[in-house]
Amino acid sequence: MSGLLEPTLYIIKGIAILDNDGNRLLAKYYDPSIFSGVKEERKFEKNLFQKTHRANAEVIMLDRLTCVYRSNVDLFFYVMGMSYENELILVSVLSCLYDAVSAILRKNVEKRALLDNLDLIMLAMDEICDGGIPLETDPQVVSQRVALRMEESPFNDQTVTQQVRQKLETTTGVVLQSAREQLKWSLLK
């Protein structure tokens, strides 16, 4: 019985989004014992892309990992777990990721839109999975949380320059108002 593995919450070993050339757009690996560095991760991703970019399957076993994937236009979405993991859990995380990205990008799931909204996609990945533990599999909840986080952000739709200009205008207005008051009181004395 020593060959049985203990159940664990750390199901997800990695999530990756690649373009139609197999280049990494976004990837997170949660188990440092799987790959020793970025070079090995990229090598694995190239190999994974070569095996999946023309296949019609949704699941592949590669280098001791169960990989579920989905493609759309010029993007490939991957969720990876160990070879003994339940594929249904991996697929539910993959579906959540894809549907949340689709909602965030307003159904415009393509490379350019993803790169323009990379910060939101990273937030979505963090909402879905934390350290290899799946936290949420409802894409609507994920996209709502991402939207809330962006509303809370002080850099919402303004650039830093716009915010500095706005702050200066406010400060200048307060200083001018104070100067007017002082001048008015000095003339009335």
Q: What is the DSSP string of 127-173?
A: HHEETTEE----HHHHHHHHHHHHHH-TTSS--HHHHHHHHHHHHHH
12-152, CATH topology level: Beta-Lactamase (3.30.450)
What is the widest separation between alpha-carbon atoms in the chain? 96
d(CA 102, CA 86): 25
Dump pLDDT digits (tens) for 42-94.
Answer: 999 999 999 998 887 899 999 899 999 999 888 999 999 998 888 999 999 99
- Number of residues written out for the chain: 189
What is the per-residue pLDDT for 73? 83
Mean per-residue pLDDT over the chain, rounded: 85
B/e letters for 66-86, b = 16+ CB within 10 Å, e = fewer, are bbbbbeeeebbbbbbbbeebe
Residue 164 has pLDDT above 60, yes or no: no
Which residue type sits at 114?
Answer: L
Dump pLDDT digits (tens) for 118-154.
Answer: 999 999 999 999 999 999 999 999 998 888 877 666 5
What is the per-residue pLDDT for 7? 72
d(CA 91, CA 82): 13
Span of 64-78, 107-121, 159-173 with lowest mean pLDDT:
159-173
Residue 159 has pLDDT above 60, yes or no: no
What is the per-residue pLDDT for 149? 75
Residue 106 has pLDDT above 50, yes or no: yes
Percent of the chain clearing pLDDT 90 (strictly above): 52
Q: At 174, is the pLDDT very low, low, confident or very high (cuts 50, 70, 90)?
A: low
d(CA 177, CA 183): 10
Name the residue ranges covered by the structural domains of the chain: 12-152, 157-189
